[in-house]
Structure 1
Amino acid sequence: MHTPTPLRDSTIVAALDTVLGASAPVVSVAPVTLAAPARPFPLEVRVSAPVHGRDLPVLLFSHGNGWSLDGYAPLTTFWASQGFVVVQPTHLDSRRHGIGVDDDRFGSIWLQRRDDLVAVLDQLDVIDRSMPGLAGRIDRAAVVAAGHSWGAQTVQLLLGARTVGADGVVGGDHGDDRVIAGVLLAATGLGGEQLHPFAKAHFPFMNPSFAELTTPTLVVAGDQDQSKMSSRGPDWFTDAYVHSAGATDLLTLFGAEHSLGGIPSWEAAETTDENPERVAVLARLSAAYLRAAAGGDPQVWHQARETFARAGGGIGRIDSR
């Protein structure tokens, strides 16, 4: 098992920083309220962006179950420092809203989550005006998305994945062509009889069809991520890569559990595998993938992947096709 290394001593973090270049100072503003008239709670988002730079791509981020726009700073702050306008909505399952599995509204949240991200795309004018100095700096043709756990399921809908109904029929298309690439962090895999009864009863989206996911995607999985929702082992979280044409790369993190080292927050209670070096590497590799996909730096993913192959063997591996 990989022993965490202080970031100041991490060879692989330093090497990836050389590939990515200097990080910029970041400004963040929240809450920014978007129009969502049918929603039981206002749609609030956090917007984070670098202080300088133009033609900034948009990065939609969807949080895991129970979190909010205030989570995932270890990733989102770094992404913003790398030139993205990061937009984080608070979805209806956030603990601050109090909608639990016994609430009649809970069963439709998985679709409302997708609608939250679409609402962001439909209201980029509001995002543009959300903080002083941001107006006119957004590249609206360069939109990418990332999500963790339930958030990964939300994002994979935008990327083209569908959901298989109880009748075995693949459901409708919830994709959005404005999203040109994605990162799926600990995305749950195929459903069926290996799903546990609780998941079958409360999470209808845990029956995905990845065959329709054709948008370029980086899948990230921990090799110690044992879900309570399925009898499958950690390989369950690689299904999006195995079964989709769009998933170009799989990053497997050694020793990582569902929080992938602590991406929801620093010192979060739910993190059972705290590893700041792992989180730092994940932030850099995902930034490189998304920067290459957004078109401003097409070689950075190749360079980051080669650097990781040389120096990151104790942390994980990347499979590509």
Structure 2
Amino acid sequence: MSIRALLASAVLLAAPLPAFALQPTTIEAATTVAPTIQSIPAPDGRTVSMHVWTAPDEKGVIVFSHGFGGAPEAYDRLLAEWAGHGFTVIAPLHVDSQLHPQRRADGATAFSTRLMDLGVARAAVEQAHPGKPLIVAGHSFGSLMSLIEAGALTPAGPLGDPAVKGVIAFSSPGNIPGVVTGQTYAPLAAPLLMITGDKDLVPGFADDWQDHRTPFDASPAGDKTLLVFHDGDHQLVKADETFAPIVAASEAFLDAYALGDAEAKARLAAFAAPGVIVERR
């Protein structure tokens, strides 16, 4: 599906989708590495604020979606690391963010506008970074958005972008009734790195941490990796104790599937770290 068609479809999503609420993610202080901010018009008349971590030696691009209620700068440490590794990161400030000046936190609005925001971000990648391989990534609610970009199917219809080379999903919002169905991840053929922990809970949505396994378990086998951190909770993407292994695994994934680096793919296949259970299929 084209970017134009994806955006047109996203405008129509709010009405048929059920409203839901997710736990807002904690907004933490950013590190000293600051992104630039660009304002890009959206088809519905909004202006989307894009935080951009520009890679000094760009090899590829990542479109990142923050957690419900969160903000791109809450992930500054990791996104700056990815940029230093050669991947420019573009992260929209979604309307459900606690920092958005016109915040709207109802679930249907958050769902539809996020899809549009990410379509705008990918259109910007096409224009400003032509020919560069694209990976999508996200945390919590943002991970669901990224999985949809990579081919996951919801009642909104098929909105996968064939330009996506792979998806990095931190936690998930759980198996949201009316949004995540038994067939949601059946079309997800893209390479996947799913990262969660055995204390990764979202009360009311993922009361069992194993709900976060669903994209890994229910998608077609092949190029799928699951990392489960012992004592990792829903904020493990930002935790000091998980940072080094997350960087090692995610950068191997980026090199393997964005750049086609066989050595990196072998490194990911052999990845191991204390306190981390690794599964592959």
How big is the shift at 1:315? 2.3
Match 2:154 to one of 149, 154, 163: 163
What residue in structure 1 maps to residue 48 of structure 2? 43
How big is the shift at 1:107? 1.7
Q: State, as a whole percentage, how many aligned pairs show the same letter.
A: 26
TM-score, scaled relative to structure 2: 0.79
| Structure of higher CA gyration radius | 1
SS at match of 2:220: coil
How big is the shift at 1:108? 2.6
SS at match of 1:99: coil
What residue in structure 1 maps to residue 69 of structure 2? 66
Superposition pairs of residues 244-283 of structure 1, within 5 angstroms: 244-245=219-220, 248-260=224-236, 263=238, 275-283=239-247
What residue in structure 2 maps to residue 149 of structure 1? 140
What residue in structure 1 maps to residue 261 of structure 2? 297
Moved more, 148-157 or 205-214: 205-214
TM-score, scaled relative to structure 1: 0.70
Distance, in Å, in 2 between the alignment partners of 1:100 and 1:29 is: 24
* One-letter identity of the residue aligned with 2:139: H
What residue in structure 1 maps to residue 12 of structure 2? none
What residue in structure 2 maps to residue 114 of structure 1? 115
* One-letter identity of the residue aligned with 2:254: L
Moved more, 229-238 or 174-183: 229-238
Change (3 A) 1:226 1:27: closer
How big is the shift at 1:232? 4.2
Change (3 A) 1:315 1:305: farther
Q: Which runs of 5+ in 2 are unaligned?
A: 1-31
1:205 and 2:179 aligned: yes
- Contact conserved, 1:224 with 1:234, CA < 8 A, in 2? yes
* One-letter identity of the residue aligned with 1:210: Y
- Contact conserved, 1:58 with 1:140, CA < 8 A, in 2? no
The count of residues paired between Structure 1 and Structure 2 equals 247
What residue in structure 2 maps to residue 80 of structure 1? 83
SS at match of 1:87: strand
What residue in structure 2 maps to residue 140 of structure 1? 131
What residue in structure 1 maps to residue 37 of structure 2? 31
Distance, in Å, in 1 between the alignment partners of 2:268 and 2:157 is: 36
Superposition pairs of residues 191-230 of structure 1, within 5 angstroms: 191-192=176-177, 204-207=178-181, 209-230=184-205
Change (3 A) 1:30 1:231: closer
Change (3 A) 1:125 1:33: farther
- Contact conserved, 1:159 with 1:215, CA < 8 A, in 2? yes
Change (3 A) 1:82 1:222: same
How big is the shift at 1:154? 0.6
- CA deviation vs aligned residue, 1:62-114 (integer Å, no higher than 9, x gap): 0001122322012101111111011111011111235344x6xx523212212
Distance, in Å, in 2 between the alignment partners of 1:235 and 1:81 is: 33
What residue in structure 1 maps to residue 166 of structure 2? 181
- Contact conserved, 1:57 with 1:139, CA < 8 A, in 2? no
Distance, in Å, in 1 between the alignment partners of 2:208 and 2:126 is: 44
Distance, in Å, in 1 between the alignment partners of 2:279 and 2:176 is: 24
How big is the shift at 1:34? 1.3
Change (3 A) 1:188 1:180: same
Distance, in Å, in 1 between the alignment partners of 2:214 and 2:207 is: 11
Distance, in Å, in 2 between the alignment partners of 1:38 and 1:231 is: 32
Distance, in Å, in 1 between the alignment partners of 2:40 and 2:88 is: 16
How big is the shift at 1:257? 0.4
* One-letter identity of the residue aligned with 1:77: A
Q: Which runs of 5+ in 1 are unaligned?
A: 1-25, 129-137, 165-170, 193-203, 264-274
Distance, in Å, in 2 between the alignment partners of 1:72 and 1:120 is: 17
How big is the shift at 1:36? 1.1
* One-letter identity of the residue aligned with 2:179: F
- Contact conserved, 1:28 with 1:49, CA < 8 A, in 2? no
- Contact conserved, 1:188 with 1:206, CA < 8 A, in 2? no
* One-letter identity of the residue aligned with 2:229: L
